[in-house]
Amino acid sequence: MAETDKVTGYTGTAKLLHWLIVALLIAQFIFAWIMPDIRRDTPVSTLISLHFTFGIVILAVAVIRLAWRATHAEPPPDPSLPHWQALSGEIVHWLLYALLFIVPLLGWMDASRRGMPVVMAGFELPNLIAKGASGWGWTGDVHGLLSNYLMLALVGLHVAAALYHHFVQRDGVLKRMLPR
């Protein structure tokens, strides 16, 4: 089974990590959109604190996922796929990986700059930049823009491609990421 898995699909761990991140991101966007607007002196409400916690969990899972990916190559593309589709899929996957690091780190930097504590399981995480540091105001703006626009656009493209392969091309691209 391990052998066929390697040839045709992702490992069970890669699938689990993929779908775990999808679930965490859905929750994370819901928190982001319903939490109060963060301005100077906004208190860290429960929703804001949940946004920070889930964001750090996403960052941690992304680290584990990248480590798994570095030691377990993506299965080779279906030979029937045109080269441009295999290549563009790979580029989108790497951009999504990059965002899974850049987005939470920028959010964490912005929280540090604003002096908002980022607490995980009762422990306050260190500040990434000094509270009130000048010249870092862009971190929060870029964090929101990358999430609300670039990440959602790439995920939209990624999901559209998966559905196109499944329902139009009727090949095995979606199936190799689905649980058996």
Sign for the CA dihedral angle at 59, 60, 63, 65 comes to negative
**Which residue, 176, 168, 110, is CA-closest to 138?**
110
Asked whether position 111 contacts ligand HEM by CB under 6 A, the answer is yes
Asked whether position 22 contacts ligand HEM by CB under 6 A, the answer is yes
Question: From CA 99, how far away is CA 62, in angstroms rounded?
Answer: 10
- Single residue of 38, 61, 129, 150 touching ligand HEM by CB under 6 A: 38
Sign for the CA dihedral angle at 180, 153, 110, 49 comes to negative
Asked whether position 128 contacts ligand HEM by CB under 6 A, the answer is no
Contact indicator for 177, 163 with CB cutoff of 8 Å:
no
Place of tokens 């670039």: 150
Contact indicator for 113, 136 with CB cutoff of 8 Å:
yes
Question: From CA 53, how far away is CA 120, in angstroms rounded?
Answer: 6
Asked whether position 144 contacts ligand HEM by CB under 6 A, the answer is yes
> In the complex, what is the shortest distance from the CB of residue 111 to ligand HEM, in angstroms, rounded to a whole number?
4
- Single residue of 64, 120, 159, 160 touching ligand HEM by CB under 6 A: 159
> In the complex, what is the shortest distance from the CB of residue 1 to ligand HEM, in angstroms, rounded to a whole number?
18
Asked whether position 113 contacts ligand HEM by CB under 6 A, the answer is no
- What does the binding site for ligand HEM look like in residue numbers (CB under 6 A)? 14, 18, 21-22, 25, 28, 32-33, 38, 51-52, 55-56, 58, 69, 74, 89, 93, 96-97, 100, 103-104, 107-108, 110-111, 118, 140, 143-144, 147-148, 155, 158-159, 162, 173-174, 176-177
